[in-house]
Amino acid sequence: MGRTIPSLTDAIREEQSRLIRVAMKIRDERLRAKLIQGIESSRLLQDAFYDEIADPQEIVLLSIILSMCDCGDRLPSGRNS
Q: Which domain holds residue 45?
A: 5-68
- 74 — pLDDT class (breaks 50, 70, 90): low
The answer as to whether 80 is a domain residue is no
Asked if the model's pLDDT at residue 79 lies above 60, the reply is: no
Q: Is 79 contained in some domain? A: no
The reported pLDDT for the residue numbered 77 is 55
Report the pLDDT value the prediction gives residue 2, as an integer from 0 to 100.
54
pLDDT at position 1 over 50: no
Is residue 78 a part of any domain in this protein?
no
Tell me the pLDDT tens digit for each residue of 6-62: 788 888 888 888 888 888 888 888 878 888 888 877 877 888 887 777 888 888 888
Task: Write a three-state SS string for the chain.
Answer: CCCCHHHHHHHHHHHHHHHHHHHCCCCCHHHHHHHHHHHHCHHHHHHHCCCCCCCHHHHHHHHHHHHHCCHHHCCCCCCCC
The total number of structural domains that make up the chain: 1
